[in-house]
Amino acid sequence: MVSLFKKFLAKPIKILAPATGELIHLSSVSDEMFAQKMMGDGYAVKPTEDEIYAPISGTITSVFATKHAISLTSKDGLEVLMHLGVDTVELKGAPFDIKVQEGQQVEAGDLLGTMDLQQVAEAGLSNEIMVIFTNMDKIKELTANSPTKVQHGEEVGTITLA
């Protein structure tokens, strides 16, 4: 009975912009796998500044060896993959300075690291930051704002858990 009320009274989780730049629909990113939502649904930001921030509160579950992707899990079990740029794995970590490590607790809006946008551009790659919710079975509803300019930490949508 308590869990029924808990679900009924559950507040939507605010999701934040992971960077300052332009919020875009996931279907608009230049990587087909993400655009077709093969790994899950979400949103993306074309950053104009190097800093990358946590879109939700949770625990860092992985930082890829090439630093181009970070995963985190919320206390409610929501799994988030942040993919930093398209094909940036090829850069072997060079443009990234990741400030967090596996097992670390972060709050929504905390600095996770930086991506040298100039270095990514010089390599001829896209700097789109994709925020993917990989366990969509836990999500009842995902709303994301329309494309617009955003500041890091700004609310860009909400998630209601199933």
Cα 136 to chain centroid, rounded:
14
How much is the pLDDT for 138?
93
Q: What strands, in cross-sheet order, belong to the sheet with 111-115?
A: 51-53, 111-115, 96-98
pTM of the model: 0.92
What is the torsional sign of CA 65, 38, 87, 113?
negative
Q: What structural domains and CATH numbers belong to the chain?
A: 11-161 (2.70.70.10)
Residues with catalytic annotation? Answer: 83
User: At a CB cut-off of 8 Å and minimum separation 6, what does 37 contact?
Assistant: 26, 27
How much is the pLDDT for 11?
80
Residues of the chain with confidence (pLDDT) below 50: 1-2, 4-5
CA distance linking residue 64 with residue 4, whole number of Å: 37
Q: What radius of gyration, in Å, describes the C-alpha atoms of the chain? A: 15
25 touches 147 (CB < 8 A)? yes
Phi, psi angle pair for 114, to nearest 5°: -135, 155
